[in-house]
A and B are shown apart, each in its own frame.
Chain A
Amino acid sequence: MSIQRYCAKKKNAFMNRRDKTFILASLAAGAALLLAIAFAKPGFYAAKNISSILIQCSAVAIMAAGQIYVMVSGGIDLSIPSVMMLSGCIGALVMRQTNNILLGILSIMAVAVLAGLFNGFSVAKLKINAFVATMITMLVANGLSLKVTKSSSIPVPQEFTGLFGKYYGPVHANIAVMILCLIVLQFVLTKTGFGRCIYAIGTNEKSAQACGIRTDKVKIQVFLISGILSGIAAIVLTARIASSSLSLASDSTSLDVIAAAIVGGASIKGGVGTAVGAFAGAFIINGLSNLLVLFGIDYYSIQIIKGMVFIFITYFDTIRAKARRA
C-alpha cells in the first residue's frame, strides 16, 4: 500500500507538473515574442513604452477576463468585442446629446448588461448553444452599431477622456481600471463559493446540477459578468481614443480575446483558467500584433498570420486538455 500511495502521489505531482509545463511553455513563447520585439526595435522597452503596451492591451485584457469566466463555465462568448463596440457607441451618442458623463457611463453599462443577460438567457434558459447564441448577439450588436453611428466617428466629451484616459501620477487610468478588474475577478473566481460553482459547471455540468448548484442561474450570472466587462472595456477604450466608432473592435478582436484566454490557461472544454492568466494572455497576444506591425507587415497579412497562430493556440489547448486527462 505504501508503494501505491507513493506512486499515486507521484502521478499527481507529475500531472500537475505537466500542466504547469504547458502553461510555462505558453509564457515562454510569449517571452520569446517580446525578446523578438526587443531585437527588432531596440529601445522598445523604455519604461514609458512598457506602460504604453499595458495601456494598449488593457481593453483586451479586461474583455479576456470576462471571456475567462464564460470559458471556465464551459461556454464561450463571441459577442464581447461587439457588445463593447455597441455600448461604446451608444454611450458616446448619449454623451454628445446630453453632455452628461454619468448618463453616458450608465447607458454604456446598461447596454452591456442587457447584452450579457440576453446571452445568459439564451444559453441557460433557451438552451441555445453558447457559440451560436453569442454569435447572434455579435451580429446584432455589429448591425446596431452601424445603424446608430451611421459609420461615423463620435467624439466623446473632454471630461470623459480626462476621467478615464489620463495619467494619474505615473499610472494611467486604463491600467488602474484593468488591474482593479483583474484583482476583483481573480478573487471572485478562485476564492469564493460562486467561483467554485463556475469551475464545477465547467468540469461537469450534470454533476454540478446533482450537487444542488443552480447551473442556469450561475450561467446567466457568468454571461452577465462578461457583459459588464465589455462595458468597462468600452469605457476604457473610448476614453483613451477619445471617440467611438466601428473601429473600436475589428474582425479579429473576438479571436484576440479568446486566444488571450486560452494562452492564459483557459480551455474551450471548460473547468480551467484564471483571470490573471487572461491578463498574461492579452499581453502576449498584444505583443504579437505589435511585433507584426513593427516588421512592417500590412493589416491583411497580419490577419492571415494571426489566423495561423490561433489555429496553433487552439490545437495547443487540445493537447493540453489531453495531458490533463491522461
Chain B
Amino acid sequence: MERRSYFEAVNLHKYFPGVHALNDVTITADKGSVLGIIGINGAGKSTFMNALAGELAIDSGEYYIGGEKTEIRNQKDSEKNRIALIHQEAVVFKDLTVAENVFIYNLKDYTKAGRLQYKKMYEDASRYLSMIGAQVNPRELAKNITVGEKQMIEIARALVRDAEIVLFDEPTSSLSLEEKENLFRIIHQLKEQQKIVMYITHFLDEVLKICDRTVVMRDGEVTGDFRIREVSTRELITGIAGHEVETVVNQGEENEGEEVLKIENLNCYPAVKNINFSVHKGEILGLWGLLGSGRTEIIRSIFALDKPDSGAIYKRNKEGKMLKISGHKLLEECAYVTEDRHYDGLFMAMPIWKNITMANIRNFSNGMMDVQKEHEYSIKMIEEMQIKTPDENVLVETLSGGNQQKVIMARCIGKNPDVFFIDEPTRGVDVNAKSFIHRKILELARQGCAVVMVSSEIEENLNLCDRVLIVRNGTITDEVRKTDISKQNLMDLCLGIKEGQNE
C-alpha cells in the first residue's frame, strides 16, 4: 500500500492497566506542516507523544517514515528516526552550563583525549542557539536562565540531532507572553525548514494560531481531524469534550461580607514583601501575577510553611472575634490546595480514601483511626466530587490529572473550612473537570466560605473572582474590584505597564 504522508502512525494500540490509552490511533503528518494534537487529560495525546519519543512502547501498530516501515521501541529508535521531544518541563541539568546542556547527548563528540573541548562547544552552542534566535550565553549555568530559555536548550538539542520530527508537549504552560511569541516564531521557522512539528496543547487559541491541521483525541481515540482554516472554536471544543461545555461564571452581586481573615505586614525574605490584605465571607479573592511574582510564596508564608520574618494573621473565630492566629494553626483550620499535586499535594502511593481523610485525621480518630468511617466518608466524597474510579481503594497515582485534583478538593472540602486557599485549581485538568471544579468553588463561596485563589489562567480570574489583588515582585501592588476586572486591565497591572516597566 502506498504511503501518502511523510509520517504515518497506523492503527496504534496501547493498553495500560485499566485504560485503553491508544485505541486504533492513526495519525499522519506532512513535511513542512504543524500538526496540533488536542484533547482532555487522559485522551491519549501524551501517550502518543511518548510512544513516538520512545519513552514507552506501543502494543501494536505500525510507523511509516518517508514511506519506510520503521520500529520505535525505545529512545534509541526514536533518535535514529530523527524524532525529538520538547518536554513540558524542560529537562536541564541546572549545575551545568548551557552549552553542556545543549550537547548533553553528544558529549562524546566533543571529547578529545578524555577532555571536553569547551571552546568548540561554546562556539557550536552559540551557533545553534542563534539559529533559533535565542539570546543565551552558552557559558551561563542553566540554573540562572529563565524557563523559556531552558526550553530553547531543548529545541537546540533537537537541532543538534538534526531532528526531522519535533514534538512539543504543552510547551507554553509556564512561559511568559514574550517567550510564547518567540516560541511560535521558532515553530514557524522549523516549519519553513520542512520539518514536521507536532504540537500538544490545552489551549485552543494556540492551535488556531500556529497549526495547519489538528487532530482531536478523546478516550484514546482520534475523534476528529480538521484543517485549521475550516474549523471553528466551538467545533473543536465539542470535539474535545464530546459534548457542549458550559463556561462557569460568577454572577453574584458584589457584596461585602464580614472580614474573616486579615494579613498584616507579612514579610518573608526574599520572595514576600510587606503583604497586607483581608478576605471576606463568601468572597472569591484572586491573587494574580506573573509566574515567579511570589503568589505561591505569599500563601506558603501565611501558613508558615516558609517561616515568615514578620507579620501577623488574624482570623475570625466561632464567636465572631478577630483573633491573632499562628500560621500552623491556620493551616489546621483552613483548606489548602497546593500548586503542584505531585510535589506537595497528594500521596501518590496511597489509596484514595487515605488521601481524602489525610488533612482531617482528627475527625476520624478517637485514639484509634475509625477506618470504617473513613471509607464511608470517602465513598460519599467520591460521589459528590464525581471522581471516576472503581472504588476508594484505588491508588491515587493511577487516576487521571482531573480526578487527582478532585481528590485534593475532596480532602479540603471535607474540613468544612471557612477559609479556602486554592493555588492553581485547574492546572493540567481536562475541560470537564475544570468546569466542575469551577462550579464547586462558586458553591463554596456561596455557602459563605472565603476563597483565596491563585491562578495563572486569566479566564479563571475573570470568571470567578469578586476581587483581584495584583502581585508583582513579591508584593501586592493593586486591587481590582469586580466591576473593573478585565483581561486588559489584569495584564497591564501585572506587567506594571502603567509604570512603564516590565517586572
Contacts and interface: CB of A to CB of B under 8 A. Distances in A.
Interface of A: 1, 4-12, 14-15, 191-193, 195-197, 199-200, 203-204, 206-214, 271, 324-325
A156 to B, nearest CB: 37
Contacts of B391: 9
Given A211-B359, A212-B332, A212-B359, A11 B349 contact: no
A9 B345 CA distance: 24
Given A7-B19, A8-B17, A12-B394, A214 B328 contact: yes
A191 B369 contact: yes
A207 B350 CA distance: 12
A12 B394 CA distance: 6
B395 interface: yes
A183 B137 CA distance: 62
A207 B390 contact: no
A8 B390 contact: yes
Interface string B410-440: 0100000000000000000000000000000
A93 to B, nearest CB: 39
A108 to B, nearest CB: 29
B363 to A, nearest CB: 10
Interface string B349-376: 1100010001101101101110000000
Contacts of A203: 347-350
Main secondary structure of the interface of A (DSSP, over half): helix
9 contacts: A11-B17, A196-B358, A196-B361, A200-B350, A200-B358, A207-B344, A208-B358, A212-B331, A212-B336
Given A8-B394, A12-B395, A211-B411, A196 B19 contact: no
Contacts of B388: 1
Interface string B474-495: 0000000000000000000000
A207 B394 contact: no
Cβ-closest 6 pairs across A and B: A11-B17, A206-B344, A8-B18, A7-B18, A5-B390, A193-B365
Contact of B349 (A193, A196, A271): A271
A196 B336 CA distance: 19
Given A8-B390, A193-B362, 10 more contacts: A5-B389, A6-B390, A11-B17, A12-B395, A192-B367, A195-B369, A196-B361, A199-B350, A210-B305, A212-B331
B267 interface: no
B298 to A, nearest CB: 15
Contact of A191 (B18, B343, B368, B394): B368
B338 interface: yes
Instruction: Using C-beta atoms within 8 Å of the partner chain, give the interface range for chain B.
Output: 35 or more
A209 B349 contact: no
B489 to A, nearest CB: 32
A107 to B, nearest CB: 31
Nearest to B335: A212
Contacts of A11: 17-18, 398
Given A11-B398, A14-B17, A196 B331 contact: no
A123 B355 CA distance: 26
Nearest to A269: B349
B346 interface: yes
For B17, B19, B362, the residue with the greatest tally of chain A CB atoms inside 10 Å of its CB is B17
B361 A197 contact: yes
A195 B345 CA distance: 20
A14 B365 CA distance: 30
Given A9-B391, A207-B344, A209-B344, A4 B19 contact: yes
A1 B388 CA distance: 9
A204 B390 CA distance: 24
Interface of B: 17-20, 305, 328, 331-332, 336, 338, 343-350, 354, 358-359, 361-362, 364-365, 367-369, 388-391, 393-395, 397-398, 411
B256 to A, nearest CB: 29
Contacts of B347: 200, 203-204, 207-208
Interface of B is mostly: mixed
Contacts, number: 95
Contact of B336 (A8, A192, A193, A210): A210
Contacts of A5: 18, 389-390
Nearest to A3: B20
A250 to B, nearest CB: 35
A195 B389 CA distance: 27
Contacts of A192: 365, 367-369
A203 B393 CA distance: 17
Contact of A196 (B305, B346, B354): B354
Contacts of A7: 17-19
A212 B338 CA distance: 12
A12 B368 CA distance: 26
B346 A207 contact: yes
Contacts of A197: 361
Contacts of B336: 210, 212
A204 B346 contact: yes
Nearest to A206: B344
A209 B365 CA distance: 19
A196 B18 contact: no
B338 A210 contact: yes
* From B331, B361, B365, B389, residue with most partner A Cβ within 10 Å: B361
Contact of A10 (B18, B20, B346, B362): B18
Contacts of A10: 17-18
A291 to B, nearest CB: 35
B349 A8 contact: no
A298 B348 CA distance: 47
A203 B369 CA distance: 18
A323 to B, nearest CB: 12
Contact of B345 (A1, A12, A207): A207
A196 B351 CA distance: 13
Most A Cβ at <10 Å: residue of B343, B390, B395: B390
A26 B350 CA distance: 23
A213 B411 CA distance: 14
B332 A210 contact: no
A8 B398 contact: yes
Centre residue among A1, A4, A195, A210 by max chain B CB count within 10 A: A210
B491 to A, nearest CB: 30
B369 A324 contact: no
A4 B18 contact: yes
B178 to A, nearest CB: 31
Contacts of B343: 206
Which residue among A11, A200, A203, A212 has the maximum number of chain B CB atoms within 10 Å of its CB?
A212
Contacts of A195: 369
Contacts of B362: 193
Contacts of B350: 199-200, 203
A35 B247 CA distance: 68
A199 B369 CA distance: 13
Contacts of B332: 212
Nearest to B334: A212
Contacts of A208: 347, 358
A2 B348 CA distance: 24
A196 B390 contact: no
A204 B348 contact: yes
Nearest to B361: A193
Contacts of B393: 12
B425 to A, nearest CB: 15
Contacts of A204: 344, 346-348
A211 B358 contact: yes
